Every structure is written in structure tokens, then in C-alpha cells.
Structure 1
């Protein structure tokens, strides 16, 4: 067999392997994004359920503890169960020690707001990309969180926040930036970072 024929066969095999590899990778990315969808929905559902229950049982002042204590617990539990990083992020943090954004998260939040300004709904948005950080690959994912009516008791205008809630917020969060919102505005996002070398649905 001639050298040219050998070369052609090797090229065909190489292209075929690349196509198979690309298809497998595309399937994996789809599965990983779907898994991130599920985890973000779990987080949102659990947090909303705790918040509603506490508001009904003990009122808005006690409900502050849900976002302060329960939300990080839910995020930590989901992180540990999956071997990922699951957090809430915002450009207007209430607690200056939690929820700070990195460059990619800030850019993505800005993209969400720009899309909303064009008429898209936050409930239908999400973003996922694969990034290389020092030779290690991650799937990064974000799902926006919009302000709902229940949120205004703690995140609305000065007129909408009851005096006892204001007093507690000042005591707990002296550098609070998370007020003045209206229903439907972007509060932040669920941010997930999956190491690509961690199998899906792995329980730790």
C-alpha cells in the first residue's frame, strides 16, 4: 500500500475518532447542564418552601434567618452531595462576606439583565459554559433569581420594609446593599461550578 493511501486512511480514522469524541462530549455536556438545572431547581424550591413556612409561622423578622442561615445550609448540602460548588451570587450583597461575584458571574448577570430589557423572562434564562482553569475543566452554570412579592418585605423600598425588619437588618447587615428592589427585577443567581472529572450524581 502506498504512503499516500496509508496517510489517507489514518486521516479518515482520525476524523472519525474526532467526530465520535465530539458527539460523546456533547452528550456529556447536555447531561451536566440538565443535572445543573435539577440542582438549581432543588435549591430554589427548598429555599422558597422554608421562607414561606417561616413567614407564615413566625413572621418576617424570623424569616430573615432563612436567607441568613438556611440558604447557605441548602447550598452546602447540594454542593457536598454532588461534589460541586453551589452558591447564590449577586452584585448587591446583603452580607458582604457571602455572595460576592467573580468576573464571569458579573458578566453573566449583566447578560441576564440585558436579555430581560429586550423582553425575555428570567424564568426562561440560564447559561452554561466549559472553562479551563489552570488545566482543569469545569462546567459553569447560572440560573437567574428574580424578585417575587414575598421578597419585598426584606428587599423592597424603605416604605415597604416593616420597621421591625429594618431594625433587624441594620443589626445583622451594617453594609446591606440589597434593598430598593421591585417585583420582577434581578436579585442574583444560583451559580454552579462542576469539576468535569467528578462523575454526575456522585454522592459524597
Structure 2
């Protein structure tokens, strides 16, 4: 009998704990959106400029295979350094449905944002410059700023057609990322998002 009571108590506690941590997405106010857009826009530009310059320099110096190490080892550190430039509590991530690195796999909020941009792209419409989510969990409020990424010519070296990709580069990608999904892109395809999370 005591065991049953304890079991029921554990189940109820689990249910209540789960319910109490439910997150909701809502529209930010105009003032919130302006602030988030400014912070997210500046950090995203710094990230993309820094990462792009690092990739270009590595490829020119050591060839396209070097870009794999940049994305695998340096990209995360660059994102952390850029996030540290903000006075706010910020984290930065690149995410996509067709990811190469498991660290870039989307969470449920990022999936919603990816679906938002994917539908616009599939409808042949111009992608908006950004998208903002206001996420409330209990009394905690966070904002996710998303910047869409389109495939540029530099990206095609490692993310383009496998049939025309350098054989050594393909072997390197396969060795580092056996479950890779991030190939087959064409110029100007929707690639994914930069997500800037801002915590109040």
C-alpha cells in the first residue's frame, strides 16, 4: 500500500513538474522587437563576417579540407567570443534541418523558426531579414533572434554537389561526419539560421 502511495506521489510530482516548465511562444512588443533586432543583427553580422573571413583565409592558405576543421573546431569558439561582446546574456548558434555537426541540430523552437523560413522559401517569396520569438517559461523570458542564411559560392565547396566535389574533401567529410546531411545545395538556396538567444 505504501509503495502504491509513493508511486502515485512520484507520478504526480513528475506531471506537475512537467506542466510547470511549459514554454510558450508569443509576439514581442514593438519595443522588445526593436531591442532584440538591434542586438541580434549586430552580433550576427560580426559572427558571419568573422567566420567568413576565417574560412576564406584557411581555404586560400591550406585548401578546402582546412575549412572542415574551421567549422568543426573554430566555429563554436568564434560564436562564444562574439556572444561575449554583448552586455546582455547571449548565446549564439547556427542551426538547420540538414546539419553536418550534431551540435547544430535544431531544438523545438528552432524547428518552428526553420519551418517559418522554409515555407516562405518554398513559396518563392523573399526571405525576411529576421524572425523573433518571445519564449516564456514560468517567469523566465527569453528572446530568440533568427537570421536566415543563403548558400553563397564559398559554401558550395563543402556543401555543393557530391558528384563534382573533390574526392579528398568528400573522404574528409565522411570521416568526420558519417551522418552528414549538408550537401546537395545550390547557389542562393536557403541553408539555415543563425540563432541569437537573449535572456532577460
Matched position secondary structure for 2:84:
helix
Q: Please provide the CA RMSD for this pair.
A: 1.6
Matched position secondary structure for 2:164:
coil
Q: Which runs of 5+ in 1 are unaligned?
A: 1-24, 197-204
**1:94 equivalent in alignment to 2:95:** no
| Alpha-carbon shift at residue 59 of structure 1 (Å) | 0.7
Match of 2:113 in 1: 108
Q: Could you list the per-position Cα deviations for residues 45-81 of structure 1 after superposition, in whole angstroms to 9, with x for gaps in the alignment?
A: 1111111111111110112111112211111112333
- Does the CA contact (< 8 Å) of 1:153 and 1:160 recur in 2? no
Superposed counterparts of 1:31-42, under 5 Å: 31-42=35-46
The TM-score normalised by the length of structure 2 is 0.79
- Does the CA contact (< 8 Å) of 1:152 and 1:160 recur in 2? no
**Alignment size in residue pairs:** 170
- Does the CA contact (< 8 Å) of 2:43 and 2:83 recur in 1? no
Which one has more relative contact order, counting CA pairs under 8 Å at least 6 apart? 2
| Alpha-carbon shift at residue 28 of structure 1 (Å) | 4.5
- Does the CA contact (< 8 Å) of 1:157 and 1:179 recur in 2? yes
| Alpha-carbon shift at residue 183 of structure 1 (Å) | 1.2
Matched position secondary structure for 2:163:
coil
**1:73 equivalent in alignment to 2:77:** yes
The TM-score normalised by the length of structure 1 is 0.77
Match of 1:167 in 2: 171
Which stretches of structure 1, 4 residues or more, deviate above 6 A after TM superposition?
A: none
Match of 2:47 in 1: 43
Q: 2:186 aligns with which of 182, 189, 195?
A: 182
- Does the CA contact (< 8 Å) of 2:132 and 2:146 recur in 1? yes
